[in-house]
Amino acid sequence: MILSRFFSRVGFGLGLLLLAGSSMAAPALFSDIASAARLQEIAQLLAAKQGTPALLTEALQICGFTIRKEDHTLVAKPIGTDNDLHLAVTDYEIRGFIDLYNRGQGMTLGNFVASMDYQLKQGGYNDSCGTDIKSFLIYDPVARQEVLKPGDPNPNRYMNQAVSGFLTDLAQNHENFDDMNFGDSAKLDPIQSLILTRIVTQEIATAIKKSSPAGLNLFASNYSPYADDAGWAEDGWVGGITGLINKLVESKIGEKLAKPMDKANSISSISKFILTYTFLKTELKVEGENNLLVRTKDTSAGEKKTLTARIFIDGSKVTDWMKENRATVAMAGLDVDMPKSGGLAGIETSWEISGDGKYYDFNNHKVQWASGQGDMSKVKTDSNGVAKGILEGTAQQKALDPKTVKAYEKSISVKVTPQAKATDMKQDVIDAVTGAIGISGGASGWISPVMETLYRMKWFGSETVNVRVRDWKQAQSIGHITVTVKGDGNFFSRDRNLVQHIDRVLDVTDMVMDINDPVGEVPQQVLDGIKNLPEAQRKQMEALIKQQQALGGDRYFQLKGPGHVRYTVRDSGTSYIDNSDCLVDRFQIHETDAGNNEFDFPSSTPEGKYFNMVIKKLKGENENGIFVVNAILNATHTEQRTKGKPSKPGQIPVELLDNCHIDKSYMDSGLKITLKPGAQLPGEEGTGFYGVTTIPFKFGENDQFSGKITISIAIQNKVEKPK
């Protein structure tokens, strides 16, 4: 039924059935839909490595944070009043955590909880804070507010929803994120880590101050000697963001601490010490003139490439940290005379090979670590802080005929990660980065709990380099086709707002393609066989035959396989209605359709993953292509509402051009792409082709929003074009 509806609306057929492999969560809801949309946009920009301190500053302001300098000078106030947390983040923290984010660092949620539980136990609270933190991340926002302020005659229902919403928006950028369960293995990127660390440590510190005998005399600031000075935990700060603080106060946490003020300020400084990871730098490169590794065409191992990683402390970053955190340096008693820098000897590193994008075929490795190097998860740096790995092309599973193979190139990523401490190591990353500011092993007093917290966080950071691998397939032609369907629309009025996003990508890579002769009459036995197929598959085959016959006397490219197919959907929409000035009459719903799946496309198509595509190849000075494709996956559908309970996630089929209304004039004339002669890989014979085209479409209510379909095709053809 889905395929039939699609064919009748759009007009070009053929199908691909995919099953969703993962899902994307909806952001939590809060009152300003424009701000919600902006936070989602910022999260997407951050994922695309376009993050800047200014962008993160804006996001934190929307979430309700005040931005200050380390001397408490005001930089920026929160945007809006509903979400004012009365809690500050410094501009130095913003710069540092953006740096860590862009370097792909972070920790797991389980390790963050473990580090906070350690602090709680030191204060005499033995329960885990994990439930409170995870509930804050995934709990229904309206219900949570009723828990935090039961019986409030005019509760601020939108308090803190911007924070939890942005945290979830960021999580959507992570691989394998489970939107309904922030599990212990879920990654916290540096921005999530900053937000959660500032909130949770401040709640713990505040509870200790309130519960201690000298609570009224304790400093209200984070780490500075400015008593009751607004800026860190400001005058309006009462906690309650996660719901943890009330439990801690009731348990009288910190009541028996000898120095509760030192303990509270020490806890509040943890985000400062996470920034010591900005000192640590890894330079990873491929030795030689280029980063191209060539596999052989036979069963012998291919070319070798040596990769070099240098791990060192950036002394300028150490100096900046000491300068920006003078109050912390003074209270912790750190050595400010000689910041340490240079290469780090004896650091254990782990080396990992991954594929192009998220996908890597471990059953058909294109590269491997050369033998004789030992365990590549335990490579130690030498006296200069250098570790090396030798990569080689794997042998072909069977020898290829050099006369009939076609070259193509893939990008393989190699990732190097400095490891946490092992029993036989002289130092690890934490020792190295904190040693740069004068902290040595066995530190005690004010700084010891901070060090123990850092150990439990198990912060990770990696450096990645891409290696080009030239491989071979027994084929005349190899194609790469990408279809992106993008649309963004928003409508705002006094009583109604609407935001919609369409984001779908179909990527077909390294696909062996046949050049077929013209299609004549279809044998009757083939037509009879098609009649016995299931309805959906029968219609697909009938459409394929019809389109092949329409190719007339021209030759055409057709996908054969092997190759790889990836289809991703990340659609979302939010509507907000305000029927009156009364808060309870406001209604908002946020929906997402999200999923992805990818698989190798073999020469014999497996059941349930039917895929085909035809590109018409006409004679003439320019090669015109008629492009025919479709894709389907079962995406995870989620809803969040400000009234009633959120719906449970369910599966919904999403086709490549669902709800995309293309002008009839495009379809009547056929979807055509100009295929121009393109360059071959060095040493290759034949003719390459490439082409790109864009098609506008409308979507949304009454088609008031616009989007664009972009189709790009690249074909490496071993056979000369027909004369």
In what helix (H) or strand (E) does residue 130 lie, and over which residues does it extend?
A: helix 130-138
Q: Pick the more confident residue, 463 or 430.
A: 463
| Three-state DSSP class for residue 484 | strand
pLDDT in tens, 215-224: 444 333 343 3
- Are the beta carbons of 504 and 654 closer than 8 angstroms? yes
Among 48-62, 158-172, 276-290, 609-623, which is the least confidently predicted range?
Answer: 609-623
Question: Which regions of 535-680 does DSSP assign to beta strands (E)?
Answer: 555-559, 563-578, 586-601, 614-617, 623-628, 632-641, 650-655, 661-662, 672-678
**pLDDT for 589 beyond 70:** yes
More confident position, 469 or 222: 469
What pLDDT was estimated at residue 672? Answer: 66
Strands 623-628 and 650-655: unpaired
Bridging pattern class, strands 672-678 and 687-699: antiparallel
Q: Is the pLDDT of residue 568 over 80?
A: yes
CA dihedral of 151, 155, 157, 158, whole degrees rounded to 10: -150
What pLDDT shows up at residue 19? 26
Cis peptide before 562 (omega within 30 of 0): yes
Higher-pLDDT residue of 480 and 96 is 96
More confident residue, 124 or 252: 124
Cα(243)–Cα(266) distance, rounded to whole angstroms?
22
Q: What is the pLDDT of residue 93?
A: 94
- pLDDT tops 50 at residue 6: no
What are the percentages of helix, strand and coil residues in the chain, rounded to 5?
Answer: 30, 30, 40
Residue 579 phi, psi dihedral angles, 5° rounding: -85, -10
- Please count the other Cβ atoms lying within 10 Å of the Cβ belonging to residue 109: 23
DSSP 233-261: B-TT----SSSHHHHHHHTTTTTT-S-HH
Going along the chain from its start, the domains and CATH numbers come out as 2-25+475-717 (no CATH), 33-268 (no CATH), 277-472 (2.60.40.60)
What region, left, alpha or beta, does residue 700 occupy, with left being phi > 0 and alpha being psi -120 to 50 degrees? left
Distance of CA 152 to the CA centre of its chain: 38
pLDDT value, residue 357 = 41
Confidence of residue 113 (pLDDT cuts 50, 70, 90): very high
d(CA 277, CA 317): 10
Please report, for residues 513, 514, 545, 681, the alpha-carbon distance to residue 561 in angstroms, rounded to integers and kept in the order given: 7, 9, 19, 20
Using CA atoms, how far residue 372 sits from 376, 390, 391, in Å, is 10, 10, 12
DSSP string, 627-653: EE---EEEEEEEEEESSSPPPPPEEEE
Residue 359 has pLDDT above 50, yes or no: no
Nearest to 456 by CA among 197, 262, 153: 197
The total number of residues written for the chain in this structure: 723
Q: Is 221 helix (H, G, I), strand (E, B) or coil?
A: coil
Count of beta carbons in the 10 Å neighbourhood of residue 392: 17
The answer to whether 628 and 672 are in contact (CB under 8 A) is no
- pLDDT band at residue 177 using 50, 70 and 90 as cut-offs: low
Which tens digit of pLDDT belongs to each residue from 628-685?
A: 555 666 777 777 665 555 556 677 888 888 889 988 777 655 566 777 776 666 666 6
Annotate 378-417 with three-state secondary structure: CEECCCCCEEEEEEEECCCCCCCCCCCEEEEEEEEEEEEE
Q: Is 532 exposed, middle or buried (0-12, 13-18, 19+ CB in 10 A)?
A: exposed
Sign of the alpha-carbon torsion through 424, 430, 435, 440 = negative
Least confident of 80-94, 609-623, 645-659, 691-705: 609-623
